[in-house]
Structure 1
Amino acid sequence: MNATTSPFPRIADYAFLSDCHTGALVAPDGSVDWLCLPAFDAPSSFGNLLDRGAGSFRFGPYGINVPTERAYVPGTNVMTTAWHTPRGWLLVHDALTMGKRRGPDTITPHTRPPADFDADHLLVRTVECLEGELEVELVCEPAFDYGREPAEWTIVGDDHRADACGAGQTFRLATDMLIGIEGGTARARHVLAKGDKAFCALSWAEGLATPADVEDAQARIDATVQFWRSWLSRARIPDHPLRPPLERSALTIKGLTYMPTGATVAALTTSLPEAPGGERNWDYRYTWIRDTTFTLQALHYLNLDWEAGDFMQFVGDLEPNSDGGLQIMYGIDGRRDLTESTRDDLGGYEGARPVRVGNGAFDQRQNDVYGAVLDSLLLHTARSKHLPRRLWPLVQSQATAATAAWRDPDQGIWEARGKPQHYVSSKLMGWVALDRAAKLATIRDDDKLASQWRTTADEIRADILENGVSERGVFRQHYDTDALDASTLLAALFGFLPGSDERMRKTVNAIADELTENGYVLRYKVDETDDGLSGKEGTFLICSFWLVSALAMVGEMDRASGLLERLLRIASPLGLYAEEFEVDRARHLGNFPQAFSHLALIQAASRIILSDFMGELSL
């Protein structure tokens, strides 16, 4: 489908809102095209992102669809949109609002200690006429359960509030405009003169509480601005040209965090395609255990120890498999069953089908999971100078499971749906598991376990160096191929080999020269990999950011800085990243915004900043 004729906005043109319980995507025309209530992984109530009839909610100038300017309120996840119409100027604010906690959260109950601020369970939108006179419209057309069930509307009390019901859900629309109901749609129109303001809000809060008036609505947005700025002020972000993308990435990672449990979703969305019109469409609204170590690295680098602690406690709460190991992913509430289904009634983003709910990879064997958990535990222990007693059994169970599994083939870090293989990245993470377990045992003064786990780590290391390196001295994708795989960059990132090692330098340079499109990194070449799927995919942004870090670690600072500059230039207009970048059409693909991409950005930027700082010290 031609991008100029597609009814779907470009993925990168969406704005991301969050209250750390759920998130929304707002299109340039002011339509909320994605919102799941009351949590990230709930069925969508507004799903136009995946089908143009699956629900939307627009609030903006009547008859004008292209805004003049869109931006985040600095230091926040609150959006502003400026509109220039033939008759005037309009300013819109959009926020999933946060406020002072007033008691237990009955909508999304917490398992972590409550914070001072929490979600209001409100989407609040305000408009102000800056100049002239213009007409504002509200069009709220929800479609519950991923578009399956249109709303049934009921006016409540007067013509300023109405309840939408469907598929067992109810939310309230409130506004100071007069609401009219047309089938499954609530509408309102109102003329504003210079200085006039109006608001609307959706509420799924207890008692369906809503703002009383436009002043109350504005106060809630102001409180949300204060929340985000106060939170960001806790982060340690150096005074450096890379500060702005670091701040936006920090806000995005926090926005993808589920406050009730401390979990982090991989992305806000499901089924945004990795290949236009293809079948590589997955549900990413869950927590991947492999992300734990990258999440902890980023949070600790930014000095966000509270979030890091909550996340580790979430991991500590998870129910393991029968072998003591953890699944590769869990629900944000810790649930294990993420059975995958398809919604064949949805057309998909630009025709990319199927649309998936759930993720069938949840019960795959991926031997990298043990290393991710144990590296996270070591990072957290080194930072806090304390390993909580309740987490030591997790160390033992993960080390035991890694010891038993490292010789076995698996599906690899990319969750290939083909034949299991001896993936080098999985072996690398097996080494990470036992290396970190040995160090944690030393911290616990358990010399016997430390020695036992160190011996196994050395055995894994020897096996990788014997079987995982090709004749030209480059790390393979798996033991039965000489194909390249970007996941072998983990050998540099996790310290398997020093940057001065010739095998590491050759691997990094081979990936940079041979596994790229226009300089951006592919996960692997699909014609060389049995991943069980058809079609091609775009370059992976996390792999490109990994390459920045790896280049820096092997001393290629000019190439590292140059690649990071290119990656920063392709950020979305609001500084966000999806999962992939399609080089041919210069657009983002895959689920959005993608936590992994932003985590890798933070890691890559930190390498560049450290190098710059060390260079200044040497002058």
Structure 2
Amino acid sequence: MRIEDYALLSNCRTAALVSREGSIDWLCLPRLDSASTFGGLLGDDSHGRWSLRPADPDATVTRRYDDDTFVLITRWESADAVAEVHDFMPIDPDAAVDIRRTDLVRRVVGVQGTMHLEQRISIRFDYARAMPWVRQTGSAHHPRLVAMAGPDALALRGAAVKAVDHEHRGDLTVVAGEVRDLQLTWFPSHLDVPEPLDVDAELERTRAWWQDWADTIEHDGRHHDVVVRSLLILRALTNHETGGIAAAATTSLPEDFGGERNWDYRYVWLRDAALTLEALLDHGFLALADRWREWLLRAVAGDPADLQIMYGLAGERDLTEREVDWLPGFAASAPVRIGNGAAAQYQADVVGEVLVTLSAARSAGLEESKFSWPLERQLLRFAAEQLERPDQGLWEIRGDPHMFTHSRVMMWAAFDRGVRAVEEFGLDGPVQRWRELRDRLRSEIDHGGVTDGYFTQYYGSSEVDASLLLLPQVGFCAPDDPRMLRTVERIEQTLMHDGLLHRYRTGTGVDGLAGDESPFLACSFWLVEQYAVTGRDDEAQELMDRLCALRNDVGMLSEEYDPVQERQVGNTPQAFSHLALVRAADALMRTEHRPR
């Protein structure tokens, strides 16, 4: 399968990836960053998967989501029969969450004639390290398979299966008008098997919850459907128990096929989460901002000197990176990594990203809590203490740290928002000190971050970086500032290939990694906005249309796109890509520039 061959199922706690061939090849239980139960995405069938498809190898397939939900409808057609598989993960985040179970349902609906389907399931807990002990229970009329290993257990209901070569297989037949339900339930292995679901009730509740949420989205315009699906994906990556927003649903999908640029993105980057939250804020979701602010307070509690740039979904700090050498990787791209060493990096832009978003939430009407402004003051103190420290930058380079221009601008933005909080909202703080630091940074950037009339990747460099397109977005300069226009020209000359933007030139050695990478989708969406606010309307719309066409058939984008092989690249679905899409679509609707 290609990366774009997968669709997403979500219960706002974990997520599954379903291929066009009807195979669930990725599912971590019970949480998005738990160990995988189905890990075939990073290997083969022996590493775990759940396949359900017609016995006829010539059957054709189409698929779609049921309106604005994550109920996936896969329609199979053979010469004399038609059937649908409705896949979903039951969700009701407004009710008490039962952490003792997680469910996934595959409803088979006969549409025409008689369809024979084959079911194959191989359960491999703990990233395919643990082959479970399996037993058949239930009865001939109500078959049930129970598998367990260590702390994890699964129950499969709905159709009989039998063991064949370390997997379980079975047949399923539906006629027109018939409905058959397959239920997969995770539960802690020391507990009894949970009761079966009322699938009709769960399906109705799940449909209603997603559709009701989508119906509250405030957006009108040419790209309405695209924006709604992107915001739904951002919501699907948000844990409804903790408020943590994951960067993606997967780990180790390669940025360079066959290479080493494979990272675990199932965690909460403060930057990505802040930008996601801002996209949600812009479309009416103020309550989510409050929940994320509470998550932030819990995650960064204590000494600001211990601030990390990323955390687990509940604010966990230990994200130690390790290699999983028994998984061969997607398209033989090794190593597969669990955890992310970037958690230990210093990235100077992060405090600015957080404060810009909290400032936007304040302007949108979010009231201060007892601890929210004290948190911001502590973050500003931390930023001031790090003022002379080079960093790894937005792109988390694993080479030597530098004074990255984008990072310095985001530090400027942090102090700028601190000054605004005092001057415009009457909050307390050492505003004169913040004003001095803000002005000092501006002077420093104007001198150290500019050469030959354009902004540079880092001080002393002549290279450019796509992150420089973000400077007008935070108000550091106008989009039509001569330096910005010259920067865009340089970016187009050196970073654009086949009409799409790379993040930076990998051949310079700045990132400390071997290999290459494909154009980074968010960067091209940033260029759409830059074009739109500087009067290059036709180019903006043309690029936007091309980027939207890169989404797969159910609206998902990964991190990058390879225009030569014409395929998506990197972890999926990627929050950064979708939030950049939303902002670009908004920019195309406006008649003037609006900084974050």
What is the Cα deviation at residue 546 of structure 1? 1.0
Q: Does residue 1:309 correspond to 2:294, yes or no? A: no
Instruction: Structure 1 unaligned segments of length 5 or more: list them.
Output: 1-8, 108-119, 615-619
Q: Secondary structure at the residue paired with 1:29?
A: coil
Map 1:140-539 → 2, pairs under 5 A: 140-159=121-140, 160-175=143-158, 177-182=159-164, 184-204=166-186, 208-211=193-196, 216-238=198-220, 240-319=221-300, 322-324=303-305, 326-443=307-424, 445-446=426-427, 449-471=430-452, 473-539=453-519
What is the Cα deviation at residue 518 of structure 1? 1.2
How big is each residue's C-alpha offset from its partner over 1:433-463, in whole Å with a ceiling of 9 and x where there is no partner?
A: 1111111233553566222211111100110
Cα separation, 2, equivalents of 1:90 and 1:406: 62
Q: Does residue 1:93 correspond to 2:86, yes or no? A: yes
Identity %: 36
Map 1:93-132 → 2, pairs under 5 A: 93-99=86-92, 103=96, 105-107=98-100, 121-132=102-113
Cα separation, 1, equivalents of 2:487 and 2:562: 24
What is the Cα deviation at residue 374 of structure 1? 0.8
Higher mean C-alpha displacement, 520-529 vs 382-391: 382-391
How big is each residue's C-alpha offset from its partner over 1:474-497, in whole Å with a ceiling of 9 and x where there is no partner?
A: 110111210110111111111100
State whether residues 409 and 420 of structure 1, in contact with CA within 8 Å, keep that contact through their aligned partners in structure 2.
yes
Cα separation, 1, equivalents of 2:248 and 2:464: 27
What is the Cα deviation at residue 566 of structure 1? 1.0
How big is each residue's C-alpha offset from its partner over 1:156-180, in whole Å with a ceiling of 9 and x where there is no partner?
A: 23251111112421011111x2232
In structure 2, relative to structure 1, the CA distance for the partners of 1:411 and 1:321 (3 Å cut) is: farther
What is the Cα deviation at residue 510 of structure 1? 2.2
What is the Cα deviation at residue 84 of structure 1? 1.0
1:554 matched residue in structure 2: 534
In structure 2, relative to structure 1, the CA distance for the partners of 1:583 and 1:314 (3 Å cut) is: same
Residue 543 of structure 1 aligns to which amino acid in structure 2? Answer: C
In structure 2, relative to structure 1, the CA distance for the partners of 1:465 and 1:185 (3 Å cut) is: same
Q: Secondary structure at the residue paired with 1:538?
A: coil
What is the Cα deviation at residue 414 of structure 1? 0.5
Cα separation, 2, equivalents of 1:427 and 1:435: 12
Higher mean C-alpha displacement, 89-98 vs 376-385: 376-385
2:9 matched residue in structure 1: 17
Cα separation, 2, equivalents of 1:612 and 1:439: 22
1:80 matched residue in structure 2: 73
Q: Secondary structure at the residue paired with 2:591?
A: helix
1:64 matched residue in structure 2: 57
Please point out which of 525, 548, 556 is paired with 1:545. 525
Q: Secondary structure at the residue paired with 1:611?
A: coil
Cα separation, 1, equivalents of 2:130 and 2:121: 14
Cα separation, 1, equivalents of 2:66 and 2:153: 30
Cα separation, 2, equivalents of 1:210 and 1:547: 52
How big is each residue's C-alpha offset from its partner over 1:109-146, in whole Å with a ceiling of 9 and x where there is no partner?
A: xxxxxxxxxxx721001111211112122211111111
In structure 2, relative to structure 1, the CA distance for the partners of 1:313 and 1:186 (3 Å cut) is: same
Higher mean C-alpha displacement, 506-515 vs 332-341: 506-515
Cα separation, 2, equivalents of 1:507 and 1:151: 56
How big is each residue's C-alpha offset from its partner over 1:583-615, in whole Å with a ceiling of 9 and x where there is no partner?
A: 11111000000001000001000000123999x
Q: Secondary structure at the residue paired with 2:451?
A: coil
Cα separation, 2, equivalents of 1:137 and 1:222: 27
Count matched residues. 588
What is the Cα deviation at residue 552 of structure 1? 2.1
What is the Cα deviation at residue 342 of structure 1? 0.5
How big is each residue's C-alpha offset from its partner over 1:404-448, in whole Å with a ceiling of 9 and x where there is no partner?
A: 213211111101000111111110111011111111233553566
- The RMSD of aligned alpha carbons is 2.0
Residue 156 of structure 1 aligns to which amino acid in structure 2? Answer: T
Higher mean C-alpha displacement, 158-167 vs 86-95: 158-167
Q: Secondary structure at the residue paired with 1:558?
A: helix
Cα separation, 1, equivalents of 2:176 and 2:294: 51
2:584 matched residue in structure 1: 604
What is the Cα deviation at residue 273 of structure 1? 0.2
Cα separation, 1, equivalents of 2:429 and 2:570: 46
1:116 matched residue in structure 2: none
What is the Cα deviation at residue 218 of structure 1? 3.5
Higher mean C-alpha displacement, 250-259 vs 445-454: 445-454
State whether residues 475 and 484 of structure 1, in contact with CA within 8 Å, keep that contact through their aligned partners in structure 2.
yes
Higher mean C-alpha displacement, 316-325 vs 568-577: 316-325
Higher mean C-alpha displacement, 29-38 vs 498-507: 498-507
State whether residues 82 and 92 of structure 1, in contact with CA within 8 Å, keep that contact through their aligned partners in structure 2.
yes
State whether residues 203 and 210 of structure 1, in contact with CA within 8 Å, keep that contact through their aligned partners in structure 2.
no
State whether residues 92 and 128 of structure 1, in contact with CA within 8 Å, keep that contact through their aligned partners in structure 2.
yes
Cα separation, 1, equivalents of 2:387 and 2:530: 25
How big is each residue's C-alpha offset from its partner over 1:37-78, in whole Å with a ceiling of 9 and x where there is no partner?
A: 000000000011000021000122124376421111111111
Higher mean C-alpha displacement, 96-105 vs 567-576: 96-105
State whether residues 97 and 220 of structure 1, in contact with CA within 8 Å, keep that contact through their aligned partners in structure 2.
yes
Cα separation, 1, equivalents of 2:59 and 2:394: 41
Cα separation, 2, equivalents of 1:468 and 1:101: 48
Higher mean C-alpha displacement, 71-80 vs 379-388: 379-388
1:114 matched residue in structure 2: none
Residue 387 of structure 2 aligns to which amino acid in structure 1? Answer: W
Q: Secondary structure at the residue paired with 1:17?
A: strand
Cα separation, 1, equivalents of 2:427 and 2:589: 37
Cα separation, 2, equivalents of 1:573 and 1:465: 45
State whether residues 60 and 78 of structure 2, in contact with CA within 8 Å, keep that contact through their aligned partners in structure 1.
no
Cα separation, 1, equivalents of 2:387 and 2:295: 25
State whether residues 296 and 379 of structure 1, in contact with CA within 8 Å, keep that contact through their aligned partners in structure 2.
no
Cα separation, 2, equivalents of 1:519 and 1:84: 37
Q: Secondary structure at the residue paired with 1:98?
A: coil
What is the Cα deviation at residue 323 of structure 1? 4.2
State whether residues 33 and 55 of structure 1, in contact with CA within 8 Å, keep that contact through their aligned partners in structure 2.
yes
What is the Cα deviation at residue 469 of structure 1? 0.6
